[in-house]
Amino acid sequence: MKATPLTPLEPWIRRKMGGRSGAFEPLRRVDLEAYQLAALRETLVWVKQRNAFYRAHLATAPATVETLEDWNMIPFLTADDLRAEPQRLVCVSQGDIARVVTLDTSGTMGQPKRLYFTAEEQELTVDFFQVGMSTFTVPGDRVVILLPYARPGSVGNLLALALARMGVEGICHGPVSDIAETLALLETTRANGLVGIPAQVLALARASQPKGGFAPRFALLTTDHVPAAIVSAVEGAWGCTVYNHYGMTEMGLGGGVDCAARRGYHLREADLYVEIVDVAGKPVAPGEYGEIVFTTLTRRGMPLLRYRTGDWGRFLPDSCPCGTVLKTLEHVSCRLADRVLVGTEVLSLAALSEALFALDGVVDFTATLDRSAGQNVLLIRVVAVTEVPARAVLLALPVIANAIAIEGLRLEVTMVPVAPEEGYVPMPAKRHFRVVGSG
């Protein structure tokens, strides 16, 4: 059996650490954690010197940390902190800020989140993209980018820059707005791979010709959580290999990416310190699930200390087949906000995604739990590029209801057929579970 190659992130991280380990020695976990601890201490000093918000926020916290375990005494940051006058967290002059990103609140009330980045921090992202893409991309490849790219510093723009440095042609297209148009581009370019939003790539794969059409070598799915059902469907339609990327704007757009083993993300651990905490904010034991929390180690414009992502995940307790000393974050399947309690059971968007995307032809759906009439009514709107019998959907959903024993849950399904040749309404980059009323 062919050995799984080492993730390219490991030697890259070791180079970023500089003189903290020998010039020709492999990366050791102990050296990486010593580097992270030193970076955390430096970040504490920086924010206290440069920022009144952080001085107040950290007033009751330790002046420094002696071990990584001590870091859990530092208070959390939340999305609300980024909505309430986010410029308070900026630690450099406005003239040093090269990019400001405003994020919608995903249907919640209040101000949007706003993130500030220096040119040097965007360069860190380009560097990560270049190394991460080298996992499955080689010089001479052509890669279609189905992500926003028009603005300098946007994710597609930075990815195109990273690919160019590898000798790879990045073909900027933007998010899918018309299935037929995008499929025509893919056919024309005959690209080796593509990078896009999971549901949109699924729509392309399911609408494409089964034989003689576009057949990429790989697809990288990003910007939203990736159901295993989507991976299976895309690989089955195109005969390609699908990789996952995990990141968010708060992380600087890039967080972690699959290695060749494709069992979870290896993280940019020289730039981010990532923790898993329980509902009370306490660290969980290795291998246990909890909320993903991160601290930036190399950001000076708008450093984030112990930022609660709202994502649910865990570090895999065993070593990766690629042999890296880096941690492996299991593929993230859901946000805490997309887990709804019905009685004593949890209904999750992740479970709905796995059931619905496993149905041939389904490319998108919306889910709303309506409690306004004193009942639990699950309203599902299913979008499909081929005819999907409503009965098939109804048969898939009760499996979820029965499996988690939700008493009194009623299902209502609406089918929305979409003909690729007649145009296409764009799907959202992120899917959310909407709840109406109280229960």
| Confidence at residue 429, expressed as pLDDT on a 0 to 100 scale | 65
Q: Which of 339, 95, 363, 46 is nearest to 204 (CA)?
A: 363
**What's the CA gap between 255 and 307, in Å, rounded?**
13
Overall average pLDDT of the 100-128 stretch? 83
Q: What are phi and psi of 362, to 5 degrees?
A: -75, 130
Per the structure block, which two tokens stand in for 309? 């992502």
Asked if residues 416 and 384 have their Cβ atoms less than 8 Å apart, the reply is yes
Rounded Cα distance between 288 and 269, Å, is 20
CATH hierarchy code of domain 136-246 = 3.40.50.980
Q: For 9-122+259-332, which CATH class? A: alpha beta
pLDDT on residue 22: 45
The reported pLDDT for the residue numbered 234 is 96
Confidence of residue 177 (pLDDT cuts 50, 70, 90): confident
Compute the distance between CA of residue 135 and CA of residue 242 in angstroms, rounded to an integer. Answer: 12
- With tokens 């609660």, the residue in question is 308
Burial-class residue 1 by CB neighbours within 10 Å (0-12, 13-18, 19+): exposed
Neighbouring residues of 212: CB distance < 8 A, sequence distance ≥ 6: none
Q: Over range 310-317, report the average pLDDT.
A: 95
Q: Do the first three CATH levels of 9-122+259-332 and 136-246 match, i.e. the same topology?
A: yes
Minimum mean pLDDT range among 70-84, 245-259, 385-399: 385-399
Tokens of 4: 């799984």
List the 376-384 sheet strands across, edge first. 409-417, 376-384, 362-370, 433-436
**pLDDT for res 302:** 96
Which segment of 353-367, 370-384, 398-412 scores lowest on mean pLDDT? 398-412
Please report the pLDDT score of residue 31 as a whole number. 95
Torsions phi, psi for 339 (to 5 deg): -120, 115
Total Cβ atoms within 10 A of residue 72: 15
Q: How far apart are CA 102 and CA 115, in angstroms?
A: 6
The dihedrals phi and psi of 293, each to the nearest 5 degrees, come to -125, 140
The residue extents of the domains of the chain are 9-122+259-332, 136-246, 337-436
For residue 314, name the pLDDT band (cuts at 50, 70, 90).
Answer: very high
Is residue 24 predicted with pLDDT exceeding 60? no
List helix spans (H) across 247-389: 349-357
pLDDT digits (tens, 9 = 90+) for 123-165: 999 999 999 999 999 999 999 999 999 999 999 999 999 999 9
What distance in Å separates the CA atoms of residue 383 and residue 395, rounded to the nearest whole number? 17
For the segment 209-245, what is each residue's pLDDT rounded down to a tens digit? 665 578 899 999 998 899 999 999 999 999 999 999 9
Distance CA 32, CA 38 (A): 10
Q: What predicted TM-score, i.e. pTM, was given to this entire model?
A: 0.93
Query: What are the tokens at 213?
Result: 């059409």
The 10s digit of each residue's pLDDT in 30-59 is 999 999 999 999 999 999 999 999 999 999
Helix-helix angle 349-357:390-403, to 10 degrees: 140
336 secondary structure, DSSP code: G
Alpha-carbon distance 412 to 400, whole Å?
14
How far is residue 86 CA from its own chain's centroid? 22
Express each pLDDT in 56-79 by its tens digit.
999 999 988 999 999 999 999 999
Overall average pLDDT of the 372-389 stretch? 86
Number of neighbours of residue 344 by Cβ within 10 angstroms: 9
What share of the chain has pLDDT > 90, as a percent? 65
Q: Are 7 and 266 in contact (CB under 8 A)?
A: yes
φ, ψ at 12 (rounded to 5°): -65, -45
In angstroms, the CA 398 to CA 355 distance is 10
- The answer to whether the Cα torsion of 247, 5, 167, 172 is positive or negative is negative
For 227-333, strand residue ranges (E) read 241-246, 256-258, 265-267, 272-277, 290-296, 307-313, 328-329
Q: 119-136 burial, b for 16+ CB within 10 Å, e for fewer?
A: eebbebbbbbbbbbbbbb
Q: Which residues 6+ apart lie within 8 Å of 323 measured at CB?
A: 4, 6
pLDDT tier, 20 (very low <50, low <70, confident <90, very high otherwise) = very low
Q: Which superfamily does CATH assign the domain made up of 337-436 to? A: ANL, C-terminal domain (3.30.300.30)
Q: What is the pLDDT of residues 332-349, one digit of tens each?
A: 988 988 888 887 778 889
Residue of 102, 69, 121, 428 lying closest to 273 (CA atoms): 69
